[in-house]
Structure 1
Amino acid sequence: MPNGAETRARIESYLLARIPFVTVRTVERSRALDMLGELARIKQLDILVHTLSQGLRDLRTRQPVTDDRSLLGALDLAGEWFQSRSNLTIVFTDVQHLSEDNDISRRFSDLATLAEEHGGSMVVITSDPVWTPLQRMGMAVSLDLPDMDEMRAEIESFLRPYSSDIPIEWGSAEYDQAASILAGVTKIEALNILATLVVKRSVTKDDLPGLSRAKDAIFNELAGLERVTLRDGDHRVGGLAGLRQWLDRKRPLLTMDLRDRGMRPPRGILLVGVPGCGKSLSAKAIAADWQLPLYRLDMASVFGHYVGQSEGRLRDALATADTVAPCVLWIDEIEKGLAGSGSDSTGITTRLVGQFLYWLQESRARVFVVATANDTRSLPPELLRSGRFDDMFFVDLPDQEERREIIGIYLGKYLRVPVAREVVDELVVLSEGFAGSDLQSAVAEIGYEAIRVGDDAVPVDYYYSAFRNVVPLLRSAPERVEEVRQLRDRAIPASGKARPSTDRTVGARRVVLG
């Protein structure tokens, strides 16, 4: 995508070449006008601009040239001036319905013809398409949102005047991270966010996570994704030490500038394994630990009844994720949305798979994807190819040490009194074969009893009975657990502990290095 400097150079060349009709596609009208105003001053160009609020005015002097503020009045004057003044450029900023064949579009077409005959130019700043016959009379250029380099320059330019009045603790790394976070918003939105830091009379390193929250507030009404609200302390994960070590190494890379090495930011992980062992909880924990907004994409809800509707919904959702980046995108049970590629008669699933894979491979937005699946065998093989996700982790039933950690987390959360070590030791033994969700359910039952009779009044036998009453998946459906465990050799163990393979023909499983 062209950055601001490239767009400015193209606009300059079009105006100097007297292209009769120029479209500037952008959502940043004020930024486009700033560029045109700079060109008017430096190149001494005769440029008038029309807005509905101020009418026609000279872009260099900002002085009004007529009392009539209407668009029709400006079009009439433009026709007269093109015939009487040479090398005149008129910029229009508030034009609606220019994408259709109507009276306004045809009047612009007539004016473009008149401008061509007299060496004039018209510029339309819009975010909408333009009627094809009109657009073919000139040239179009896109002014995209500021890239990281431009955003950093804007941030430094904004904060520099305050450096003598308030403490600004940011160094080069913090400016880079701030630019990375604010990429995807307009210049005005970025400066508004920075203004909230200035008014508190200091800019510290601790303010960086607040930039993500402020940016998220701008986009929290965008369609296509479900915003997941996270509460402090609700997303601690026990066990999964290997996964956590891997994530600790990847976190700084998500907001680093990696362009000089030609590398993209971390793309994400695919979590597979036994149901109830913390795959979905891990997505929430990652967003909470990294202090990033969490969005959930429900692949099943993407499907629509009409031709092209499903593809459009997925495209909008992924575009929204790119816009709100940096963020964590959680895709729960991805196999339900992308399974059976090529099996549906309409080919919808195949097209969705292709669209998702293209985005996963090509998008450079700082979106960290956490996809979960209970069975990868139903997923299209191309999704598992190297280069899609950064890695695939297998989440198994917790071992004794991991169960102790998980039980401790939930006892501390649900109870107000400490639990004796020997009691915890017995709970660890009783919970052999439990998934993380089973452990939570058992400790929650103890918590309910503590609320009813008081924490100190819960007998030890109740602790044990709460655990004995749980029937884990390993006992109720052992064949399902063993079926899922057949995938272990295809993924990195999330626990960080290699298990001996039951198949002598299979190589040693990869282990995440600490």
Structure 2
Amino acid sequence: MPDYAESLSHLDSYISARVPVISLRTIEQQRALRLLREAASRPKRSGMPFWIHTRATGLRDLRTRASVHEDRSLTGAMEFAASQFAARANATLVLVDPPDTGSDTPAARHIAELARIAEGNMGSLVLVSDSPVWSGLQRLGMGLTLDLPDADEMYGILSNFLTDHRGRFPIEWEEGDARRAAEFLAGATESECVNLMATVAAKGSVKKEDVLALAQAKERIFSNINGLERIPLKDSDYKVGGLTSLRAWLRRRNQLIHADLRSTRLRPPRGVLLVGVPGCGKSLSAKAVAQEWQLPLYRLDMASIHGKYWGESEGNLRAALETADRVAPCVLWIDEIEKGLAGGAGEVTGTGQRVIGHFLFWLQESQSRSFVVATANDVRGLPAELLRKGRFDELFFVDLPDRDDRQEIIELYYRRYLTREPPADELEQLVDLSEGFAGSDIESALHTAGAEALLDGGVEHLSPSFVRDTFANTVPMIRVNPERIEEIRAWGRERAVPAGRSPISSAQGATTPRRILLMGD
């Protein structure tokens, strides 16, 4: 992906070669015009005329910005340019956002005709737009895409901002802080970067903790666009009980996603795939990761990206993933991923294969700090290529909680819904009664107890036996559908790392898992 300097080099060569049509695609119009002015201001081009037309300012000299034609319309500018191209050599006209040039339209053909006039006398047309131009027009010249600022260019923008404001208010940032902030701002435009920094600095100082605040402010630019749903987080709602191994692994990945990786060949953490028994905390883990890491959480519904027209599904997914790259650093939650990436025999259409291919390519190649937390219940629906090492950083199996994990979950929800610590003797009984419960079963039982306590006038009026009776009357999924649960557990026993502290066990007894989690000290 070309940066500003590389784009300038390409543009300079195209102008020197007098290419008749140069299409410059970008969403940053002002940055593109700065690029053009820099190329036009080379000493070797001092005698070459450069004009620019925009709807707001009409036709002006690109270097001096002086008006050169009274008729401010595009038609008037093109008529002026046609006469100039015929009368003089080496003239260049820049058209900013010319309308109706994306397909075979009269406007596009008019510009193509003007390009042929320019070509006859070494003239050039430069089209600046945020969308592709008609292929018939593009074939007359060369195309160039000006990408968003990379981390190094963003660092330069931040450094200039800090230099301009040092002495005006306290600035605690050092080079490392600015480098880290620059990586967080990757995906933003230059103007967005300046606006975000101005917002952070508006309080009268720039502190160390503002690096993370900058990343949080950035995500507000992209909320709920391009198929991504912004999930608001509440501090008290996303605590996870159990899943000890998973939580320890995520703590280490948290350090890596915030680390400066420029001097290494490492890429940011890609994400984690959670498979296992329904109701055991897979979806809750995605929310807990975002809340603990203080990163925005976006939900991508893979099932909703499928459209009815050819190519629509792939386009929807591409737009969503491009947005995820731009909002990074973030947590991208893909719930029940198997519904969007069905992999069973005879289930995948041509569209499904293309969607899978594009998603896997993004997982493999993206360098953004978008940490994916994908969950799946029906492991049989997952395409085999999704499970290959290198797609996700790790594959965890979320099993039914063991005794210690059940105790932790009971304490968590007892405090939440009954607003007190569980008595020791009652806690022991509840742990025994909850054998085979999923985390959602435990939460449901204690929510029922909390609702009953509210109706009775407070937890002190709740019958001592009511919580135990609620647990005793709860029928967990393992008793409702034991065959399906055991099938899921058998799959995870062989293919995934246990998310809890204990190995995955079968109905016949403990089995040593084939995979273990490796972590440093």
TM-score bracket for the superposition, by shorter chain length: over 0.9
- 1:378 Cα offset (Å): 3.1
Question: Aligned in 2, Cα 1:491/1:123: closer, same or farther, shift over 3 Å?
Answer: same
Matched, 1:87 2:84: no
Q: 1:394 aligns with which of 397, 413, 419?
A: 397
Q: Which amino acid aligns with 1:374?
A: N
Map 1:85-164 onto structure 2 (within 5 A).
85-164=88-167
Question: Aligned in 2, Cα 1:406/1:198: closer, same or farther, shift over 3 Å?
Answer: same
Q: 1:330 aligns with which of 323, 329, 333?
A: 333
- 1:450 Cα offset (Å): 2.2
Matched, 1:10 2:10: yes
Query: What corresponds to 1:61 in structure 2?
Result: 64
Q: Deviations over 1:237-264 (max 9, x none)?
A: 0111111111111113224443543332
TM-score normalised by the chain length of structure 1: 0.93
Q: Which amino acid aligns with 1:230?
A: L
Query: What corresponds to 2:493 in structure 1?
Result: 488
Q: Deviations over 1:100-146 (max 9, x none)?
A: 33332233223222222323222110122222232222221110111
Map 1:190-229 onto structure 2 (within 5 A).
190-229=193-232
Mapped partners of 1:406, 1:89: distance in 2: 70
Q: Deviations over 1:210-263 (max 9, x none)?
A: 323322221124122222222221110011111111111111322444354333
Question: Aligned in 2, Cα 1:405/1:411: closer, same or farther, shift over 3 Å?
Answer: same
Q: Which SS does the other structure have where 2:128 is aligned?
A: strand
Mapped partners of 1:351, 1:100: distance in 2: 25
Q: Which one is further off, 461-470 or 296-305?
A: 296-305
Identity of matched residues, %? 50
Contact 2:22 2:124 in 1 (8 A): yes
Mapped partners of 1:300, 1:507: distance in 2: 33
Mapped partners of 1:390, 1:318: distance in 2: 18
Query: What corresponds to 2:255 in structure 1?
Result: 252
Query: What corresponds to 2:284 in structure 1?
Result: 281
Matched, 1:339 2:342: yes
Q: Deviations over 1:152-174 (max 9, x none)?
A: 11111122111211122222332
Query: What corresponds to 1:459 in structure 2?
Result: 463
Matched, 1:30 2:33: no
Query: What corresponds to 2:502 in structure 1?
Result: 497
Contact 2:301 2:335 in 1 (8 A): yes
Q: 1:178 aligns with which of 177, 181, 198?
A: 181
Q: Which one is further off, 295-304 or 438-447?
A: 295-304
Query: What corresponds to 1:365 in structure 2?
Result: 368
Mapped partners of 1:117, 1:496: distance in 2: 75
Contact 1:417 1:456 in 2 (8 A): no
Q: Which SS does the other structure have where 1:304 is aligned?
A: coil
Mapped partners of 2:348, 2:497: distance in 1: 36
Mapped partners of 1:348, 1:311: distance in 2: 8
Aligned residues: 514
Q: Which SS does the other structure have where 2:346 is aligned?
A: coil
Mapped partners of 2:259, 2:117: distance in 1: 51
- 1:33 Cα offset (Å): 0.6
Query: What corresponds to 1:376 in structure 2?
Result: 379
- 1:506 Cα offset (Å): 7.0
Q: Which amino acid aligns with 2:92?
A: T
Q: Which amino acid aligns with 1:509?
A: R
Contact 1:496 1:511 in 2 (8 A): no
Question: Aligned in 2, Cα 1:376/1:413: closer, same or farther, shift over 3 Å?
Answer: same
Contact 2:505 2:511 in 1 (8 A): no
TM-score normalised by the chain length of structure 2: 0.92
Matched, 1:479 2:483: yes
Question: Aligned in 2, Cα 1:40/1:504: closer, same or farther, shift over 3 Å?
Answer: same
Q: Which one is further off, 396-405 or 333-342?
A: 333-342
Mapped partners of 1:103, 1:509: distance in 2: 64
Runs (5+) with no aligned partner, structure 2: none
